[in-house]
């Protein structure tokens, strides 16, 4: 077997595994998909039913009496926490990358970059534990009441501060996890831009800031989009850190940014044991349906990235 | 070329090291059966965990042939992992449901002790007092119908107590939990509306109460209650010392006869005395909301969930010996163990039923 065939085989294994996982998930979740229908996505009611009751038959499926599965609160929690994380992480990540690439002396640059990469290497459960022990008491007792006092007039910023567990806390912990991803990728791209770009801008009389903002940033826009999408994927699927700081809300939509939430990934972990006690098995199948929806959302986000990059590429080509 | 050779040598070295590690592991696995040491794994109830923690060092010191590992993972995990055969002993405050017993008839539900559950609150300035709470009031709080501490329903039970006008933070278990099972059973047995809507289970679909919190394990419940003033939580009696250290209040709960009682050995014993004669042979029975003037309403059997069909005779013998010790008055049910976790020892009649079930482990 020559090298090319060998690598082709390896590459196809990856693709096959992906397809097999999705197909398995869909097949396993299928009874739940049929039972739950479209309401699965728009109802706020995850109810395993009466665990100690006698199973009943609905639409030919055996389920526990009172069982009903609707995950709108999970979809909302997942998308909102990711959106908050991105809204903070992109500006911070861009700023940090510009600073590391352009603003620091070369000796310090390698050290600071090293720390950013280290931050990216920290396992998420460590972030979760740190959030649980350090961040939550601080946010719940100091920062959130302070924010409500001074920013309460902004919609969703007012109300009751809650306990520190919740949407904003999850968003902040996710932010810390994805900033290094964006920063590290973007810094590398900035550093590798040809010196001639900078020289040309400076020759035209551009200030340092103008050089960065009008010449360098447009040159790395594709990288920024790409790394942001990767970061989004990580935030959407993050499990342990969110589980530890989200407050694990059930069947409720947050009415301000301080309220407890749940995300799809963390919910699957927290509910699996309870679901396994459902003798009809429908609870576990419904959790598989949650996983399927999460998979589809991630695929859609990646698809969106492709489309964005495609148009971005065409635009860049047109300018060139 | 030199690089490649060096790489090959490195790869070989790693492979050899891995092989060594693997053989070491497999030797360790085959080791115990040769030296007659049996390893028992326990997981589940965080309410039973403190007791297992006291038991295991004492028992394994007297019986060096047995190794017992314990984990506090919640009764839901105890039930599912013992049924799947991942662990030998599933610890649970809840017995296995009828539907699941039908699927797994080999499972035994063996009571090891009787525990109780406290309802605790964090009310600044009032934690030293025992507030009176009833099933319908607790159901109202967890349903979100009673939203503030000075609600008329709570005031009515506590005349003369200056209750704050502050939103209640109800804390519930977010993991599959036997504490949730016994707490919701109390709500279901005392409040018909709750029985109709949510009923009981190791997980129920908690109504959405703004500000309400989910916590994992009894220790998580204590942390959540301590960190959140104006919260209320349900916590197993084996954490009573931790509750007192955290400075949380302990409620007097309304029993079947309409009296408000504190979780104490005497009130739990009174409830047990009523329920013990009703215990069936398979011992799957709720002790919640027992009649009687002094009966504490939230007590339960702490179960070991074990398969009656063990893979080896050694394993079965080790389990039988451990459980026989655990339920004996001179062994695991001795007063110093029970008092440390605020449990009630098994009454003789129940211990006899447990012994019958233990002998079925083969």
Residue B34 has a pLDDT of 41
Provide the pairing of β-strand B38-44 with B66-72.
Answer: parallel
Residue B163 burial by CB count (10 A; 0-12/13-18/19+): exposed, middle or buried?
middle
Residue A81 has a pLDDT of 96
| Average pLDDT of chain B, as a whole number | 90
Q: How distant, in Å, are the alpha carbons of B129, B130, B248, B269, B333 from that of B265? A: 19, 17, 20, 6, 14
Instruction: Tell me, yes or no, whether A145 lies in a domain.
Output: yes
Residue with the bigger pLDDT between A124 and B305: it is B305
Residue B27 has a pLDDT of 47
CB contact under 8 Å between B176 and A255, yes or no, is no
Q: What does the pLDDT look like over B94-134, one tens digit per residue?
A: 999 999 999 999 999 999 999 999 999 999 999 999 999 99
Does B292 have pLDDT greater than 50?
yes
Kindly state whether A16 is in contact with chain B, defined as any CB-CB distance less than 8 angstroms: no
Write out the H or E segment, with its range, that includes residue B60: helix B49-62
Residue A209 has a pLDDT of 86
Q: What is the mean pLDDT of residues B201-209?
A: 86
Q: What 3-state class would DSSP assign to B165? A: coil
Using a CB-CB distance cutoff of 8 angstroms, which residues of chain A are in contact with residue B43? none
The distance from CA B106 to its chain's CA centroid, rounded to whole angstroms, is 22
Residue B128 has a pLDDT of 92
Q: pLDDT 10s per residue in chain A (320 long)?
A: 688 888 888 889 988 998 999 999 999 999 999 999 999 999 988 888 888 888 999 888 889 988 999 999 999 999 999 999 999 999 999 999 999 988 888 888 888 888 888 888 888 889 889 888 888 888 988 899 899 989 989 888 888 777 788 899 999 999 999 999 999 999 999 988 888 988 899 899 988 888 888 888 888 988 998 899 989 999 999 999 999 888 888 888 888 899 889 999 999 998 888 888 888 999 999 999 999 999 999 988 888 888 888 887 777 676 65
Using a CB-CB distance cutoff of 8 angstroms, which residues of chain A are in contact with residue B169? 163
Q: How distant, in Å, are the alpha carbons of A82, A183, A296, A305, B10 from that of A228? A: 11, 10, 18, 9, 38
Instruction: Tell me, yes or no, whether A168 lies in a domain.
Output: yes
Q: Please say whether the beta carbons of A123 and A173 come within 8 A.
A: no
* pLDDT bracket for residue B14 (50, 70, 90): low
CATH number at residue A252: 1.10.3720.10
Closest CA to A147 of A175, A172, A127: A172
Using a CB-CB distance cutoff of 8 angstroms, which residues of chain B are in contact with residue A48? 201, 203-205
DSSP A261: B
Question: Closest partner residue to A273 among B80, B100, B207, by Cβ?
Answer: B80
Residue B97 has a pLDDT of 92
Q: Please say whether the beta carbons of B220 and B235 come within 8 A.
A: no
Instruction: Tell me, yes or no, whether A272 lies in a domain.
Output: yes
**Domain hosting residue A193, numbered range:** 72-319
Domains in chain B (CATH in brackets) are 38-114+300-358 (3.40.190.10), 116-278 (3.40.190.10)
Using a CB-CB distance cutoff of 8 angstroms, which residues of chain B are in contact with residue A160? 167, 210-211
Residue A109 has a pLDDT of 85
Phi, psi (rounded to 5 degrees) for B358? -60, -35
Distance between start and end Cα atoms, chain A: 43
List the single best residue of B71, B78, B183, B210 to mutate versus A (max A Cβ within 10 A): B210
Instruction: Tell me, yes or no, whether A133 lies in a domain.
Output: yes
CB contact under 8 Å between A48 and B175, yes or no, is no
Residue A1 has a pLDDT of 64
Q: How distant, in Å, are the alpha carbons of A238, B108, B319, B321 from that of B362? A: 44, 12, 9, 12
- Helix-helix angle A167-191:A106-121, to 10 degrees: 140
Instruction: Tell me, yes or no, whether A34 lies in a domain.
Output: no
CB pairs under 8 A between A and B: 108
Does B29 have pLDDT greater than 50?
no
Residue with the bigger pLDDT between B35 and B251: it is B251
Task: Specify the number of domains making up chain A.
Answer: 1
Instruction: Calculate what percentage of chain B has a pLDDT beyond 70.
Output: 90
Q: How many CA atoms lie within 13 A of A152 on its CB side?
A: 11
Residue A18 has a pLDDT of 86
Q: What is the mean pLDDT of residues B38-55?
A: 93
Instruction: Tell me, yes or no, whether A290 lies in a domain.
Output: yes
Global ipTM: 0.72
CB contact under 8 Å between A250 and B80, yes or no, is no
CB contact under 8 Å between A259 and B97, yes or no, is no
Residue with the bigger pLDDT between B283 and B15: it is B283
CB contact under 8 Å between B76 and A249, yes or no, is no
CB contact under 8 Å between B97 and A52, yes or no, is yes
Instruction: Tell me, yes or no, whether A217 lies in a domain.
Output: yes
Cβ count near B244 (within 10 Å): 11
Instruction: Tell me, yes or no, whether A67 lies in a domain.
Output: no
Residue in chain A closest to B178 (alpha carbons) equals A274
């Amino acid at each position: 077997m020559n090298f090319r065939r060998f690598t082709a085989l390896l590459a196809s294994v990856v693709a096959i595994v992906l397809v097999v996982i999705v197909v398995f998930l869909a097949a396993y979740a299928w009874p739940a998909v049929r039972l739950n229908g479209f309401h699965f996505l728009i109802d706020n009611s995850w109810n395993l039913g009466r665990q100690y009751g006698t199973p009943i038959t609905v639409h030919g499926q055996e389920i526990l009496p009172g069982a009903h599965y609707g995950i709108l609160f999970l979809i909302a929690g997942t998308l909102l926490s990711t959106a908050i994380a991105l809204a903070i992480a992109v500006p911070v990540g861009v700023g940090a990358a510009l600073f590391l690439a352009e603003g620091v002396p070369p000796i310090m640059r390698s050290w600071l970059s090293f720390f950013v990469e280290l931050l990216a290497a920290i396992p998420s459960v460590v972030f979760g534990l740190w959030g649980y022990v350090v961040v939550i008491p601080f946010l719940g007792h100091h920062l959130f009441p302070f924010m409500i006092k001074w920013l309460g007039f902004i919609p969703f910023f007012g109300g009751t501060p809650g306990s520190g567990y919740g949407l904003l806390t999850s968003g902040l912990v996710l932010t810390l996890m994805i900033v290094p991803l964006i920063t590290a990728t973007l810094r590398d791209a900035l550093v590798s831009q040809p010196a001639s770009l900078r020289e040309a801008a400076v020759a035209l009389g551009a200030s340092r800031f103008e050089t960065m903002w009008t010449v360098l940033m447009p040159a790395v826009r594709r990288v920024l989009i790409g790394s942001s999408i990767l970061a989004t994927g990580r935030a959407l699927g993050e499990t342990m850190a969110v589980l530890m700081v989200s407050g694990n809300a059930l069947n409720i939509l947050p009415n301000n940014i301080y309220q407890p939430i749940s995300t799809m990934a963390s919910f699957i972990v927290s509910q699996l044991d309870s679901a396994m006690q459902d003798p009809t098995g429908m609870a576990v199948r419904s959790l598989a349906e949650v996983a399927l929806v999460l998979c589809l959302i991630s695929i859609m986000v990646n698809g969106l990235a492709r489309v964005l990059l495609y148009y971005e590429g065409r635009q860049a080509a047109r300018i060139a | 070329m030199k690089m490649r050779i060096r790489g090959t040598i490195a790869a070989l070295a790693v492979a050899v090291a891995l092989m060594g590690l693997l053989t070491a592991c497999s030797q360790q696995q085959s080791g115990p059966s040769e030296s007659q040491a049996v390893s028992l794994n326990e997981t589940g109830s965080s309410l039973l965990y403190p007791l297992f923690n006291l038991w295991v060092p004492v028992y394994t010191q007297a019986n060096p042939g047995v190794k017992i590992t314990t984990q506090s993972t919640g009764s839901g995990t105890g039930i599912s992992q013992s049924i799947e055969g991942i662990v030998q002993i599933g610890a649970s405050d809840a017995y296995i449901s009828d539907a699941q017993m039908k699927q797994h008839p080999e499972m035994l539900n063996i009571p090891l002790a009787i525990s109780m559950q406290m309802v605790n609150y964090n009310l600044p300035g009032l934690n030293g007092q025992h507030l009176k709470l009833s099933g319908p009031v607790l159901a109202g709080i967890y349903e979100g119908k009673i939203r503030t501490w000075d609600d008329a329903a709570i005031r009515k039970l506590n005349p003369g107590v200056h209750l704050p006008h502050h939103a209640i933070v109800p804390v519930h278990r977010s993991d599959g939990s036997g504490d949730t099972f016994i707490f919701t059973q109390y709500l279901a047995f005392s409040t018909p509306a709750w029985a109709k809507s949510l009923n009981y289970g190791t997980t129920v679909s908690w109504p959405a109460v703004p500000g309400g919190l989910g916590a994992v394990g009894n220790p998580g419940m204590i942390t959540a209650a301590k960190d959140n003033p104006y919260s209320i939580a349900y916590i197993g009696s084996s954490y009573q010392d931790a509750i007192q250290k955290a400075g949380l209040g302990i409620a007097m709960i309304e029993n079947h006869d309409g009296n408000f009682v504190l979780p104490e050995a005497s009130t739990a014993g009174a409830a047990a005395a009523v329920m013990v004669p009703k215990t069936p042979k398979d011992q799957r029975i709720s002790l919640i909301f027992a009649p009687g003037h002094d009966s504490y309403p939230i007590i339960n059997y702490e179960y070991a969930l074990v398969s009656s069909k063990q893979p080896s005779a050694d394993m079965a013998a080790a389990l039988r010996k451990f459980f026989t010790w655990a339920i004996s008055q001179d062994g695991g049910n001795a007063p110093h163990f029970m008092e440390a976790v605020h449990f009630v020892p098994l009454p003789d009649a129940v211990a006899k039923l447990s012994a019958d079930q233990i002998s079925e482990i083969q």
